């Protein structure tokens, strides 16, 4: 209060809040754009006159210029493998004279499935190898000795094209396909493996079982039926295996 009263005594006129209006020179039909704030002046902006300009359309050729003609197709050599080998970085002594084997690796002992044996590999002939017999350490001066571990091809044709580009003579080893043979317990019978459907085979089989027939007759006279039961089972088996007319002959003989 003391500070305010001292200022009021010094000033002859009291404090009056006034509002000032600033107007730009322009057309008379201008209206204030912003509302005034207390302690600030009103700012009335009069828009300037925009001259009317007619737009003229231009062609694309006038802006971008004439279209240049595409260059003609550059002819290539028929044998492009020469250039590939020149810039391949392979030493000269390993560019030609190497022999490659294209094969599909077999699955290892720890692998049960067949999904990861679809890739094709390339293995080159051995050159400049050295091995220490004392510690088993080995070395090689051939920069392409480990190419089979670094390269894998999805198809056989890709491996062939790679060998042709590197000028290597190649040999293809076709993979051995699995042969799944259905098996059953009845296939283990020697009768089925050595038995024919012709009449001669039936007669030969009956001659071989002649000793069994005599033994069965002897056991029947003695009151023992073990061999007779075995003979009956064998005859029933023969009757089922041979043709109907051969089975009828077996029944008549028995």
165 and 86 in a common domain: yes
148 and 97 in a common domain: yes
235 and 155 in a common domain: no
- In this structure, are residues 123 and 103 in contact, taking their beta carbons and an 8 Å threshold? yes
Q: Answer whether residue 180 is part of any domain.
A: no
Task: Average pLDDT across each block of 10 residues of the chain; the chain has 254 residues. List them in order.
Answer: 51 48 48 51 55 67 71 66 70 80 82 72 82 77 79 90 86 84 67 50 65 70 63 68 54 54
Angle CA 232–238–240, to nearest 5: 105
- In this structure, are residues 152 and 186 in contact, taking their beta carbons and an 8 Å threshold? no
209 and 167 in a common domain: no
Strand partners, 123: 101
206 and 158 in a common domain: no
Q: Answer whether residue 87 is part of any domain.
A: yes
Q: Answer whether residue 146 is part of any domain.
A: yes
227 and 167 in a common domain: no
Give the integer Cα–Cα distance in Å for 126 and 98: 9
193 and 156 in a common domain: no
The SS3 assignment for 84 reads helix
pLDDT score for 129: 74
- 245, 249, 252, 254: CA torsion to nearest 10: -130
Q: Answer whether residue 237 is part of any domain.
A: yes
- Overall domain count for the chain: 2
Angle CA 243–226–191, to nearest 5: 30
Q: Answer whether residue 142 is part of any domain.
A: yes
Q: Answer whether residue 8 is part of any domain.
A: no
197 and 168 in a common domain: no
Its pTM stands at 0.40
202 and 138 in a common domain: no
* Rounded alpha-carbon distances, angstroms, from residue 58 to 54, 67, 176, 191, 229: 13, 16, 72, 100, 113
pLDDT score for 90: 75
pLDDT score for 16: 45
Cα dihedral across residues 224, 227, 231, 237: positive or negative: positive
224 and 151 in a common domain: no
Tell me the residue length of the chain: 254
Q: Answer whether residue 70 is part of any domain.
A: no
pLDDT score for 159: 92
- In which domain, by residue range, is 246 found? 189-253
Nearest C-alpha neighbor of 81 from the set 191, 196, 168: 168
Q: Answer whether residue 6 is part of any domain.
A: no
């Amino acid at each position: 209060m003391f500070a305010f009263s001292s200022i009021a005594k010094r000033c002859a006129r009291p404090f009056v809040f006034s509002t000032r209006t600033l107007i730009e020179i322009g057309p008379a039909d201008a209206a204030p754009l912003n509302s005034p704030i207390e302690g600030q002046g009103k700012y009335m902006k009069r828009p300037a006159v925009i001259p009317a300009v007619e737009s003229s359309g231009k062609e694309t050729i006038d802006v971008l210029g004439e279209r240049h003609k595409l260059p003609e197709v550059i002819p290539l050599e028929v044998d492009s493998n020469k250039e590939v080998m020149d810039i391949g970085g392979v030493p000269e002594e390993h560019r030609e004279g190497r022999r490659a084997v294209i094969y599909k690796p077999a699955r290892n002992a720890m692998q049960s499935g067949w999904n990861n044996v679809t890739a094709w590999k390339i293995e080159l002939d051995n050159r400049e190898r050295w091995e220490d017999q004392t510690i088993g350490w080995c070395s090689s001066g051939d920069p392409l000795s480990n190419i089979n571990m670094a390269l894998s091809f999805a198809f056989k044709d890709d491996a062939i094209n790679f060998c042709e580009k590197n000028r290597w003579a190649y040999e293809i080893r076709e993979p051995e396909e699995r042969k799944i043979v259905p098996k059953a317990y009845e296939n283990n019978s020697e009768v089925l493996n050595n038995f024919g459907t012709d009449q001669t085979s039936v007669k030969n089989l009956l001659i071989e079982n002649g000793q069994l027939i005599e033994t069965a007759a002897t056991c029947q006279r003695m009151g023992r039926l073990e061999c007779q039961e075995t003979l009956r089972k064998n005859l029933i088996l023969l009757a089922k295996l041979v043709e109907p007319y051969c089975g009828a002959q077996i029944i008549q003989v028995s």
